Amino acid sequence: MRILCEADVERLIEPAAAVAAMRDAYRRHAVGAMPAPGRLDLGRSTPKGSVLLLAGHSDGASFAMKANMHVYPDPGSRQRLAASMMLLWDAVRCVPEAMIATTRFNNHRTAAGLAAAVDALAPARVRKLALFGAGKIAPAAIRYLLSVRGFKAIDIVGKGSARASALADALRQQSSFSGVDIRASLDAEACAADADVIVTLTTSDTPVFPGRVVRNGALVVLAGANRPSAREADDDLISRAMVFVDHRESCVQRAGDLCIPLQSGVLSPDRIAGEIGSLLQPATPARLDANAVTVFKSMGVIGQDIALAELVVSRAEESGVGIEFDPVTGHCEMLQAIQSSGSTDAVMAGAK
C-alpha cells in the first residue's frame, strides 16, 4: 500500500492532467461506470464538528472511501479546522492500494472539476471572470480556470474587502498570473454584469448577485452553498437559464439552487438539460444557445475523487514517491522524498 502525504499530493498533481481526469470522471459517471456514492453525515455539538464519509467504486476496478472532517475547537470562534483522508482499494484483488492525505487534494479535485465544466460550456473567447468567494478553494479555482480559458481580468468578490483583497494581492505577486488584471470588489452587481463567466464558491444562504444583470451568453457555475435551504442564484437567473448538473439526482434533491425553484415552479424539470458527463461523450457534441444564460450546478461526484486518486497513485508509482507499507507484515519502506513546490500553497498562505 502506498502512503502519500499532503506534500506528495501537491507535487504529483498537474492542472492539465487533473482537468483531463475530471472530464473522464464526468463521462464515466454519466454512463453508470461510477455510481452515486454511499454517503454518511455525522455531527456533534461539543466541540462542534462533523465528518462526511463517502464511499464509491468505478468500473469494477477501484473502490474508495474518503472522510472529510471539520471541527470548531473554540466555541466562541468561527475558526474551523479541516482535514481529509482517502483509502483507495484494488477492488479486484481486495487489497488496499493507497492511503492519501486529501485535504489539499480536495481543492485540486473541486477546481479541476469546475475547469472541466467551464471548458465544455463557456464561450471559446472570454475576457472577464467574476469569482464569488475568497476561501480556501479560490486560489486553486482561479489557477485551474486560467488553464482552460485565457481570462484577461478577474474580479474576486468577497463578503468583506480584507480577504478578497489579500487573495488578489497574493495572486498578483505570482508570475503565473502576470498579464491578468486581478482585483477585489464589493460590488456584486457590477461584477456579475461585466463577466463572461461567473463562478460561485460561497457558503451563503441567499443569492450572492442579482441574476437579472447577467448577460446573455454568459456561463454561471454554482459550486457552493450545497444545502437544500441555501442558494447562490436567484429566481431571475434560474428562470432564464439552460441548466447542466454533475449529478442530476443529488442536485435536484440536495442543492437549494435547484430544488427551491423546482418546488416553487420557477424551474421546470425539462429545463435541466442534462449531466455534464453526457455532454462530454464523444458522440454528443455540445448544443449551447449563445443567446441564453448557461448554468452549471456542481455538487461533486465520488468519481472525481477516484479519477484523481488513480492519477496521483499512478504518478507516485512511476516516480517512486511516498511510503510503501505492507498492512500484513508491517514492513515499511520510505521511497523518494518530495517537497511541495508551494505554488498553490504560497498563494493560499499569502491570502490568509
Residues 160-181: tens digit of each pLDDT = 779 999 999 999 999 999 999 9
Residue 320 burial (CB count, 10 A): 10
Split at pLDDT 50, 70, 90, the class of 347 is very low
CB of 220 closer than 8 Å to CB of 201: no
- If you write DSSP's letter for every residue of 242-272 in order, what string do you get? EEEES-HHHHHHH-HHHHHHHHHTSS-GGGE
Per cent of the chain over pLDDT 70 is: 93
Q: Domains of the chain, with CATH numbers?
A: 2-105+304-350 (3.30.1780.10), 108-302 (3.40.50.720)
Residue 349 has pLDDT above 50, yes or no: no
- Mean pLDDT lowest among 5-14, 27-36, 123-132: 27-36
Q: What is the Cα gyration radius of the chain?
A: 20
Q: What pLDDT shows up at residue 341?
A: 46
Give the model's pLDDT for residue 337: 54
Tens of pLDDT, residue by residue over 55-83, are: 988 777 889 999 999 998 887 777 889 99
Cα separation, 236 vs 193, whole angstroms: 13
> Helices in 99-247 by DSSP H: which ranges?
103-121, 138-148, 161-172, 188-194, 235-238
Prediction pTM value? 0.90
Cell of 167: 487573495
Strand partners, 52: 41, 68
Query: Of 253, 224, 221, 255, which Cα lies nearest the Cα of 237?
Result: 221
- Give yes or no for a contact between 42 and 50, defined as CB atoms under 8 angstroms apart: yes
Order across the sheet with 323-325: list the strands. 38-45, 48-58, 62-71, 81-90, 95-101, 2-4, 323-325, 332-334
